[in-house]
């Protein structure tokens, strides 16, 4: 890879990374005792030793949290959310089919995703092909109760959250194989999850001022209580992304996994 990069005029190699921030990224370096989410990959601890022996250094780290419901903290968020919604300038998009949601809000959803993730490491703007592929890949496991959007008085999306049913226990029992019985369990789990993975959360810059961020967190807390979820998995958050990491204070939480992107300068 390094020889190929040099032939192409490159001066560094970094990763592991997919082609965008929505693909698998980062080498697991802490938290091997915990199962991975559907959106993540697993590697053994010795991978890090091999990579570092080859001269690669830390570029960035992502940290992951497991969030638990706390009645007292939730009550404060729910009161704030109710007060914000009562003003009438924001509303939660009602549950509808994925087809209808995509027709009404798909472009806004991805525009806001581009906007809120623009400054983060490894992000690239969405092409139409990427949008179509993302929807196609996740359509079978989307529970519309876990696809939520907040809009302003002009029906503009100002915050959203999409979660997926946790699947680690099901695949662990089948040793990673997709048997007919495994498929049936997965389909049942879509509507009766024991936990959920937070796939994406996006809040427009003004969302931290107009309260739409609070409304989104209130929605997540309500879902946790309604479905009796054991926990939420945050997936990867850049360790420097204080804005999103600080929001987990609305929950009881543990920081249980860490992933790393490495970098190496190369020369002829």
Q: How many CA atoms lie within 13 A of 198 on its CB side?
A: 26
User: How far is 65 from 44, CA to CA, in rounded Å?
Assistant: 20
Q: What is the pLDDT of residue 116?
A: 82
> Model confidence over 238-259: pLDDT tens digits?
999 888 898 899 999 999 999 9
Q: What is the pTM of this model?
A: 0.89
Q: What is the pLDDT of residue 95?
A: 92
Quick one: average pLDDT of 91-117?
Answer: 89
C-alpha to C-alpha distances, 198 to 129, 140, 213, 234, nearest whole angstrom: 23, 16, 15, 5
Mean pLDDT, the chain, rounded, equals 91
Look at residue 43 and give its three-state secondary structure: coil
């Amino acid at each position: 890879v390094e020889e190929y990069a040099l032939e192409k005029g490159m001066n560094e190699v970094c990763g592991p990374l997919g082609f965008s921030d929505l693909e698998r990224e980062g080498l697991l370096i802490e938290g091997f005792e915990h199962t991975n989410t559907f959106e993540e990959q697993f590697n053994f601890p010795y991978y890090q030793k091999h990579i570092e022996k080859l001269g690669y250094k830390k570029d960035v780290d992502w940290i992951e949290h497991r969030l638990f419901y706390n009645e007292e903290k939730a009550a404060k968020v729910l009161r704030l959310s109710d007060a914000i919604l009562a003003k009438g300038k924001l509303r939660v998009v009602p549950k509808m089919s994925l087809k209808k949601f995509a027709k009404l809000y798909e472009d806004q959803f991805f525009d806001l995703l581009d906007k809120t993730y623009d400054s983060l490491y490894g992000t690239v703007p969405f092409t139409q092909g990427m949008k179509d592929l993302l929807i196609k890949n996740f359509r079978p496991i989307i529970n519309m109760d876990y696809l939520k959007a907040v809009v302003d008085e002009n029906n503009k999306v100002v915050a959203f959250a999409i979660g997926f049913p946790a699947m680690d226990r099901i695949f662990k029992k089948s040793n990673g194989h997709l048997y007919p019985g495994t498929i049936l369990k997965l389909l049942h789990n879509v509507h009766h999850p024991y936990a959920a993975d937070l796939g994406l959360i996006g809040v427009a810059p003004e969302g931290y001022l107009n309260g739409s961020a609070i409304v989104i967190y209130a929605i997540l807390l309500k879902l946790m209580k309604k479905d009796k979820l054991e926990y939420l998995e945050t997936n990867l958050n850049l360790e420097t992304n204080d804005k999103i990491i600080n929001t987990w204070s609305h929950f009881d939480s543990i920081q249980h996994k860490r992933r790393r992107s490495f970098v190496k300068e190369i020369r002829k």
